[in-house]
Chain A
């Protein structure tokens, strides 16, 4: 049995496919590809596959991870990639397929890039800097047990924060994986609360899935 980890893009119109719908969509994609995917054994056999991380509706990504098993060991990674790409929906494309190296629990963080569109980039930029300099960044997070206030400041790593003519561009690491998952909308909401300056977050995309030491998850 071949344990495959495929990295795929989800862009353009495909960003409106919800995580639940993506599951169904992938099942059909596998069936169309006629790849020898491994089925679970038991009363109701179904193809076994899983996504490393869920992606929020409306986000694009260049690095989604999909794990599945193939029953045929002789198949090449290029063939896996090409056969999936031949039947993927518009906006979704397998960038690479490889044998799984690390355990899913090795995922620690994800890199996100996004733009904050505004007529007043200078002021918004200062507001962002001010927020980042604050001792804590408290947000309301929905958990299974109800709303919870958390401080995202310790887990937030900002890599870039640049102002342009009509926007502020940001790139940041946020915790991801089996323990804690923050997504950039939490930061964006926190910013909305501290500033009056109108802005809209755009082009939110996940650009990397990383291990604790910032190395790419493989």
Chain B
């Protein structure tokens, strides 16, 4: 009988980018499996090119592999061409380091980064030969299917498929979970015993111990907890972020991936409080790394991987308290080593001239502003605290500095939005064009180019807008047409997202357990890679919802009441529901809330953590 590796190799040249399926990359960790106690398959429910770009995987992969007796391997969704070959030739989904089937692993862990990857999870479990429903898995202690990542803040639509959800940051709790597993494995414990004990670890949510009952109107009536699991599961955070584990090496892929560079995380959390932004709330509190740590990690990673590009990862890099000295030191290093430095996530309002000059030294590409709303009133509603003067003054600096292309991101369908706000998008773009031509020393030889990218607003759990309905498709189509009609200049290009995609996103984001069946049905009908427009089949999703008795509008277009039990109310992300209600009300009055550095808005995270977010010295608390 041929080995799995031989079976894979027999067909590898028939598929696109075969190096994605065979491992062997520099930086990948190979261990002697006879000396390993617990094996963890870190699965990303999308293709290699996307999954390999994910920073969380890099961190947890290296962290787990630091432990001699644990082995973490990588696993991605195969492309359609290879999936067909795998199914035809009985090649089970395997991990890239050992090329062993992941069904034999102790943990099968998924990271849930976006809702549209959910069908990918089911497809990967199926390809692995692991029962997709948790209840159908063995009673033995093996094949524990777990998930982490931002979507775990409302994991209910996936509750039937997972044994465990891990809430919050994984650097500590993942190892605690594996330690418990190994301890109980040696004692010959069963799966259920392990799940019961695991549920006692802070941050561990075992969905099968929670039952939901619904009212006649479809909302949640009550929740019942069994097996001694906690009533509320609280997310985990790393207290001393400057000392948190960070890898000094990455797996360096052969094929080009989406983010093909060194990434250094400079801060976690966000002080801004934009009311639509889930990341801005679920990653609180704000914590940053010191300049020394950032420079040291940059150097180690560049040297060990050989990458010639490094990017700073965070929600808002310019909010780092030492941004100027940090960039000065980083640029000194990167210039000396001929490394390119890229700085995504810079905000408009604190975009100083000296900062711009620093970036310009590094690379001259376009500028991107997330204005999000077309009028000041709407920007106040969403608490995107950026004024038109700030946008204009930044554009002026940029134009004078030689930039001629500006990208503007907006959302459509925001709460309280009117036609005036939509027309405001076009007007803002026009004023930027006018500004460009009013500048004496504007870049010559090329015209200004404004790209407007319009996403449909998706209300998300754990945001002040979690209660909000999404605009219906008709409303969105009306607004899109209005915007197109309002844009008269050929210097402005407008692009949209498919509103159907956004509708599915909100259903999966705000859904409850009754959606598990629909996701299963949609996948059975052939839905996968839903985030890829060429594979997205909304018709099949609608069929699935209809067959499962689900009304999509109940989740997408209904206002969730303040006093309603939300599907995620039993999960605690340290920011209180009272705060979200307060912020929601403030939003409807079009009143802004200052950022955390200016004034604490009482979201509750400081109480939960037991210290002020911006105390003078964070380390002594």
Residues of chain A at the chain B interface (Cβ within 8 Å): 12-14, 16-18, 21-22, 24-25, 27-32, 34, 39, 45, 57-58, 87, 89-91
Is A12 a contact of B24 with CB atoms below 8 Å? yes
Q: Does the CB pair B256–A28 fall under 8 Å?
A: no
Q: Which residue of B lies closest to A200 (CB)?
A: B10
**Closest A residue, CB atoms, query B27:** A89
Q: Which of B15-23, B101-109, B461-469 contacts A (4 or more CB under 8 A)?
A: B15-23
Nearest B residue to A13, CB-CB: B24
Some 17 contacts from A to B, beta carbons below 8 A apart, are A13-B23, A16-B12, A18-B17, A18-B19, A18-B254, A22-B254, A27-B306, A28-B26, A30-B306, A31-B308, A32-B26, A32-B304, A32-B305, A34-B303, A39-B338, A89-B26, A90-B24
CA distance A12 to B255 in the complex (A): 17
> Main SS of the interface on chain B?
loop
User: Min CB distance, A204 to chain B, in Å?
Assistant: 10
Inter-chain contact A89/B25, CB cutoff 8 Å: yes
B13 at the interface (CB under 8 A from A): yes
Give every chain A residue within 8 A of B256 (Cβ-Cβ).
Answer: 21, 24
* Minimum C-beta distance from B26 to chain A (A): 5
Q: Inside 8 A of B302's CB, which chain A residues have their CB?
A: 31
Distance of A28 Cα from B303 Cα, bound (Å)? 9
Q: Which of B17, B254, B256 gathers the greatest number of chain A CB atoms within 10 Å?
A: B254
- Judge whether B26 and A87 touch: CB under 8 Å: yes
Q: Hey, which chain A residues are within 8 Å of B306, CB to CB? A: 27-32, 87
Closest-CB distance, A193 to chain B (whole angstroms): 20
Distance between Cα atoms of A12 and B19 in the complex (Å) = 12
Q: How far is the CA of A74 from the CA of B530 in the complex (A)?
A: 57
Contact present for B13 and A58 (CB under 8 Å): yes
* B566 proximal to A (CB < 8 A): no
A91 contacts B24, C-beta separation under 8 Å:
yes
Given contacts A27-B308, A32-B26, A57-B13, 19 further A-B contacts (CB under 8 A): A12-B24, A13-B23, A13-B24, A16-B12, A16-B18, A18-B254, A18-B255, A21-B254, A22-B254, A24-B256, A25-B252, A28-B305, A29-B26, A32-B303, A32-B304, A32-B306, A89-B24, A90-B24, A91-B24
List residues of chain B with CB within 8 A of the CB of A89: 24-26, 254
A28 to chain B, nearest CB (A): 3
Closest chain A CB from B294 CB (angstroms): 20
- Give 7 closest A-B pairs by Cβ, nearest first: A28-B306, A13-B24, A31-B306, A32-B306, A90-B24, A21-B254, A16-B19
Instruction: Report the Cα distance A30→B254, complex, angstroms.
Output: 15
Partner of B19, one of A17, A29, A32, A87: A17
Across the interface, do A57 and B18 meet the contact criterion of CB distance under 8 Å? yes
**Interface residue B307 (Cβ < 8 Å from any Cβ of A):** yes
Complex interface: chain A residues within 8 A of B254 (CB): 16-18, 21-22, 24-25, 89
- Closest beta carbon of chain A to B29's beta carbon, Å: 12
Most buried by B among A18, A31, A39: A31
Residues of B within 8 A of A34 (CB): 303
A28 touches B338 (CB 8 A): no
**Within 8 Å CB of B308, what residues of A?**
27-28, 31
CA distance A57 to B24 in the complex (A): 16
Chain A residue with the shortest CB-CB distance to B307: A28
The listed residue (A22, A28, A39, A57) touching B252 by CB distance below 8 A is A28
Mask: chain B, 246-277; 1 = CB below 8 Å from A; 0 = not: 00000010111000000000000000000000
Would you give the 0/1 interface string for B51-64, flagging 1 where the beta carbon is closer than 8 Å to chain A? 00000000000000
CB of B380 to closest CB in A, whole Å: 44
A13 to chain B, nearest CB (A): 4
**Chain A residues, CB < 8 A from B22:** 13, 16
Which residue of chain A has its CB nearest to the CB of B253?
A21
| Residues in chain B near residue A87, CB distance under 8 A | 26, 306
A28 to B28, CA, bound (A): 15
Cβ–Cβ < 8 Å partners of A45 in chain B: 338
- Residues of A contacting B18 in the complex (Cβ-Cβ under 8 angstroms): 16, 57-58
Q: For residue A122, give the distance in angstroms from its CB to the closest CB of chain B.
A: 25
Interchain CB contact under 8 A, A21 and B19: yes
Which chain A positions have C-beta within 8 A of B17? 18
Q: Which residues of B contact A30 (CB under 8 A)?
A: 306
Q: How far is the CB of B338 from chain A (nearest CB, A)?
A: 7
Q: How far is the CA of A90 from the CA of B305 in the complex (A)?
A: 14
Point out the residues of chain B lying under 8 angstroms from A90, CB to CB. 24, 26
Hey, what's the 0/1 contact readout for B117-152 against A, CB within 8 Å counting as 1?
A: 000000000000000000000000000000000000
Name which residue of chain B comes closest to A29, CB basis.
B306
Which B residue sits closest to A30, measured CB to CB?
B306
Taking the closest CB of chain A, its distance from the CB of B375, in whole angstroms, is 42
Q: Which residues of A contact B26 (CB under 8 A)?
A: 28-29, 32, 87, 89-90
List A contacts of B19 (CB < 8 A): 16-18, 21
Q: In the complex, A213→B255 CA distance in Å?
A: 38
A14 touches B338 (CB 8 A): no
